[in-house]
Structures are given as structure tokens and as C-alpha cells.
Structure 1
Amino acid sequence: MPLVFATPPIALSTAHLLAAFFTFSYVGSLYLSKNARLSFKKGVSSTVDGEERAKENDERWRNDPDVIRARLLAASASTLLSVYVVYQLVQRITPEYESSVNPWTAVESSLARLGITLDFASNPLCIILPCLVAPILYLGPLYADYLSETLPFQRHWNFRSSLLPIVSTWVGRRNYIVGPITEEIVFRACMLSVYHMAGASRKKMIFLSPLWFGIAHLHHAWDTYNRYGRTSSALRIAVMQTLFQLAYTSLFGFHCAFLFLRTGSLLPPTFSHIFCNVMGFPQYGLHVKMFPKRRLAIQLAYLLGIAGYVYSMRWWTKADDSLFWPAPGQPARF
């Protein structure tokens, strides 16, 4: 357990400043080096209005392997910096006598506040069950995948085309490994730990802190605008996609923030992030169109997924002793 306090050891304004630093250092790191920055030719338009244009040879787009490599390195460095800032903050508020008795106090306290702990080893269900909440929500899409026979070890699933691209391509490594891990460390572990030390309420931590996560995705609008040809149609597409992404990432942030606070562990939100990235956004209309004879079954699976999500979020996520979510009747600890 980390060293705790009866009253918040830092001011809420300090937490806001740190949250802004975490956000803009993470996004800003993607543009620091020339290799990580995108480049687009001026005056190049899409041949078909509303469709992505062809890439020119001397342009640098988001999915270029060398761009991804540079950005993953930058994001990883920024993540380590954010973790170091949290450690320095914890070290600063750690009483001198604690540090003199055990010089590892600040390290252990920082790791616990960041949700990096093995305390669940005695009760693995307190971590396994929260990791299953997202798959429960995706019961409808999973049932559609079952009908398509694309689930693991079904007829249309194979290691080479279904699993290998996740780890063997730079896009896969970004979307399903490094991206989710670094984002959860920065926007959940680091951000929620400083807001908790500032005494922010649970509602603010769950529903307001993820807005930083949504803001961190706004820079994709410039990429979309350029890829679609810098036209009025491209601007409309960029605005619509960005607003949708802002809403989706904020909603997803509510989910991950709740998991982190309830369990006190970084593992459940990180697993959920990876799982949701693999699954993508649920496409109910497409699934019904693909299997019209199974329409009622698909509807039922979607509804059961929503009901199961509501139930499991309450009953499957409570850890035995979460620093961020004390049991009823227990005093708050900061």
C-alpha cells in the first residue's frame, strides 16, 4: 500500500496543471522530431469528393512505418517522463522520516498509485473479472463474429491473417500494444493519481478527467483534412470524425477511469483498451444486414451485452482494498 494522508497533499490547481502537462507533452512529443511529423503536399485534392485521396511519394502520413516507429518512441519517452513526474511529486510529499527509514517508500507508493501492483495475487478474481466487463458489453459484436466464423479457432480465423498482424506490423503494434499501454499509463494512472492526491471527487475523476483523453485526439483533425484533399468536404469530414472521436474517447475514458478507481489496478483498463481497439466500434446495422435471419438473436445479444455491462460494472469491479475507492464507512485516503 502507498503512503496515505488524511487530507489531500496537493492543491486541485496543481492537479489541473499536471493533467495539462501530461496531455500536451504526450501529444506534443509526436511532433518534436522530423521523423514523427506528418507532411502533406499543398494543392493536392481528392479525385472523388468525400473520399481519401492517393498519397504522394514525398508525403509522410500517419500510417507510414517510419512515422509510426518515431511516434511510438516519442510516446514511450513522454510516458516515462509523466511517470517520473508522478514519482517526483510523491517523493516531495513523502515525510522525511519515512524516506530515511525506507528509501524505497516513494518508489513503492508511486507504483501503487499508478496501479502497478501485485497485491491481487492472493485474489486473482478481483482483476480477472474487471477484465471481462468489456467483452460482456461486446456480446452483440462477438455473436456476429461467431456467425461469421471469425472468432479464434473458427473456420475463417487463422494465426497468419488474424493474429500475426497485431504484433508483426507497425500499425498493429501502435493500435493494439504500445498505444493502449502508454495512453492508459498517462491518461489513467498518472492523471487519476494526481487528481486523487488533490482530493477530487469520484464523479470528477470519472467524468471530467477523461475529457483530457478526448482532447488528446483532436490533432487527428489536421491529418484527416489533408488526407481528404483540403476541400470543404474534407473539412466537414474532419470536423465530424473529430467530434465523434472526442465523444467516443471521452465515453471510453469514463469506462476506464471507473475500472482504474474501483480496482486500483492499471491492468483492467489496459486490457479493455486493447480489447476495444481490436473489436472496433460496434456496427449493429452491418451485423443485421449480414445476417437478416438472425436479426432477433443479434438484437438480443446486443441488449444482453448492455444489461450484462451494467451488472458487471457494479459487481465485478470492486477490489478488496482500493486506495481510490474505500469500502463504505471507511475514511477517504489520499
Structure 2
Amino acid sequence: MPPPPKSWRDGFIALEAMYEKHFKGAPNPPAVSPTAAALLSLFFTVVYVLPFYLSSATRPSPHLTRDAPSSIRARVRAVTSSSILSIGLTVFVLHRSAHLSAADILRLLGVWPVSPVDSAKTILLVAILFAGPLFENGIVDGELKDWVTGRDVIQTFRSWIGYRNYVVGPVSEELIWRALIIPLHVLAGFSAKQIIFLTPLYFGIAHVHHLYEFRLTHPRTPLFLALLRSLFQFTYTSLFGFFAAFVFIRTGNVYSVILAHSFCNWMGLPRFYGRVGVQPGEPIGPPGKSDEQPGGEQIHGPVWTLGYYVLLVAGAVGFYWQLFPLTDSSHALPGAPK
């Protein structure tokens, strides 16, 4: 314990030192507590998934798959309602706890300002990663003409499955797990690295319920294989979540991650083995592709396959080298990694 001051001047010096130590130098408490950010994130995840099992119109069964048009329509309504609830609650918390203005809230949610340049650079980055699959689908399978004319896009969006996979899913999921959950963790004092590797776990957990749906529609599949399938899905959704969180923090733009999400859903998983144009068993990517003539003769030689795998590796390397340059933005959120 320090000795008592001997004069009024010593007393003021001691008081100033106390202020410097305990008040001026003390960090400000976070606007949102870490516990509140975690609980709200868990709440948003549950509210997003739970309505799928509360109604017979959305609840999967052996006689009603998640791809049935009636089920998709009902789930779209449920997701819309849960998203509106989550957005309203987040805006309320940001305004009351962090005392942010409307402009600051829109900025933190990645809604404003809109940056088409950042979105274009993000799509270019994802296209580099998918250089191999783009080559296979566009050149080997001959879809490039449909992409240019837009016919394939129009047909896809006219279906309920396409509308779910490329519009409702990406928009609602990126709003919840990036635009809402990440700002809460920013205000809770989490570092950018913690946010990038922590928040996507909620996104991965939200997809675990597909195990139950898969078991209903594929009762003869062994449980072990179903668990492996669910683990694989959790892994790649979390990996995409890491990337999406990184992009959102670096660009402060929710539209970039929505477009990237839709693009990745459209491309599917890349081929990691086999010959291009030949699908052994159930195809990994978009179904309905074949490089066989009516007589069964292959029309593409091994050079095409070699080109695909060269592009696949080159795309991964290019993605690594361009990850920071193509996500550089003046709209980055506070604490974005450099």
C-alpha cells in the first residue's frame, strides 16, 4: 500500500496517477457482451431451422421430400419470417446497446454503401478457384453457349429448386450468419481471426439437421455412411463459412458473399478424381451431364482430363495468391485482417 501523501501537491499527483491507471488507461467495455453475442447467434440458428419441423407443410417425411414444390414454398415463407425477426432483433440490439445511428447500423450490416466493384472482385476470386469446374462444365460439357445466351440461367430460376438454391438460400443464410451474427461479434470485442473461425460453426451446425431428412428419405443407407455424409457436409459448409466471413469482414459488403454463395451452389463440389465428362455413379456436380455419344463412344480424350486437373490446381494456387488483393476494400469492417 503506498504511503499517504505529505502535501496537497503529492495528493494531486497520486490522484492523477490513479486516474491514469484505473480510468483513462482502462479499455472500454464491449457494447455487446460476448455471452449475448453467442446466445443471439444460437437463437438465430435455431429460429432459422426449427420452423421446418413445426408444420406438416415443411416437416420432411418419407412421403414429402425437401425438394417438393409445396415444401419449398412453405419453407420460403418460414425462412422469410425468421429472417425478418432476426433482423429486427439485431437492429434493436445495435441501436440500444451500441447507440449506433441508422447509417452506422446499415454500414455494420454490410448493406450500405453498395460496392459493385467489391462484388465483382469477389466473384472473380471464386471463379479463379473454380477454374477447373468452369472448364469442364463450359467447354467439355458444352454449356458455355447456354451461359452466354442466359437460357440455362432462366430455366434454372424458373424452378422452385433453383429459386431456393440460388436466391432464397444464399440471401437468407448470408443475412443471418454474416450480416447479423458478425456485427454482434465485432461489438462484443472478438478479433477478426476469432470471428472468421468461430461464427461459421453456427452456419455448419445449421446444416446438421439434413442428417435427419436424409435418414427419412434413404432409410436403407447405413447409419455410419449417413453420419459420414453429414460430417462431410458440416465440413464443407464450415469451410465456405470461413471464406464468407473473411470476405464480409474485408469488404463490409453482404452482396459480395450472397453472390459468392449463389455461385458456389451453382457450381457444386469440384471433381477430385476420374475422367472429365464421365460420371461414375451419382454425379458430384450438377446432374444430367455426359460426354458420351449415343453409341457410348467417348468424345473427349485424356488431354481434356489433364487440362482440367491442371486448371484445378492452378485455380487453387491463384485463389491463394489473390485472396487478399481481390478482397481489399475501403469499406472493410473494424479490425479486418490485412
The normalised TM-score by structure 2 is: 0.80
Partner of 1:52: none
Partners in 1 of 2:206 and 2:119 — Cα distance?
Answer: 28
Task: Tell me if structure 2 keeps the 8 A contact 1:225–1:237.
Answer: no
Q: Which runs of 5+ in 2 are unaligned?
A: 1-26, 279-299
Partner of 2:288: none
Partner of 1:296: 306
1:86 shift after superposition: 0.9
Partner of 1:30: 52
Partners in 2 of 1:169 and 1:321 — Cα distance?
Answer: 35
Partners in 2 of 1:157 and 1:90 — Cα distance?
Answer: 43
Amino acid at match of 2:44: F
Task: Tell me if structure 1 keeps the 8 A contact 2:31–2:98.
Answer: no
SS at match of 1:134: helix
Partners in 2 of 1:286 and 1:177 — Cα distance?
Answer: 31
1:323 shift after superposition: 2.4
Structure (1 or 2) with the larger CA radius of gyration: 2
1:303 shift after superposition: 1.4
Partner of 1:228: 218
Partner of 2:171: 181
Amino acid at match of 1:12: P
Partner of 1:101: none
Task: Tell me if structure 1 keeps the 8 A contact 2:193–2:337.
Answer: no
Task: Tell me if structure 2 keeps the 8 A contact 1:87–1:106.
Answer: no
Of 282-291 and 167-176, more deviation after overlay is shown by 282-291
Q: Which runs of 5+ in 1 are unaligned?
A: 41-58, 96-104, 329-334
The correspondence for 1:140, drawn from 132, 147, 150, is 132
Partner of 1:199: 189
From the superposition, tell whether residues 170 and 146 of structure 1 become closer, same or farther in structure 2 (CA, over 3 Å): closer
The correspondence for 1:87, drawn from 84, 91, 94, is 91
Partners in 1 of 2:276 and 2:172 — Cα distance?
Answer: 35
1:284 shift after superposition: 3.1
Alignment of 1:93-132 (within 5 A): 93-95=97-99, 106-118=101-113, 120=115, 124-132=116-124
1:149 shift after superposition: 4.4
Amino acid at match of 2:51: S
Partner of 2:289: none
1:80 shift after superposition: 1.1
Task: Tell me if structure 1 keeps the 8 A contact 2:204–2:234.
Answer: yes
Count, aligned residues: 290
Task: Tell me if structure 1 keeps the 8 A contact 2:138–2:144.
Answer: no
Partners in 2 of 1:241 and 1:77 — Cα distance?
Answer: 30
Which structure is richer in relative contact order (CA contacts within 8 A, separation 6 or more)? 1
SS at match of 2:327: coil
| Aligned alpha-carbon RMSD (Å) | 2.2
Partner of 1:63: 67
From the superposition, tell whether residues 115 and 287 of structure 1 become closer, same or farther in structure 2 (CA, over 3 Å): farther
Task: Tell me if structure 1 keeps the 8 A contact 2:208–2:234.
Answer: yes
Partner of 2:8: none
Amino acid at match of 1:115: G
SS at match of 1:30: helix
SS at match of 1:23: helix
1:193 shift after superposition: 0.9
Partners in 1 of 2:244 and 2:307 — Cα distance?
Answer: 29
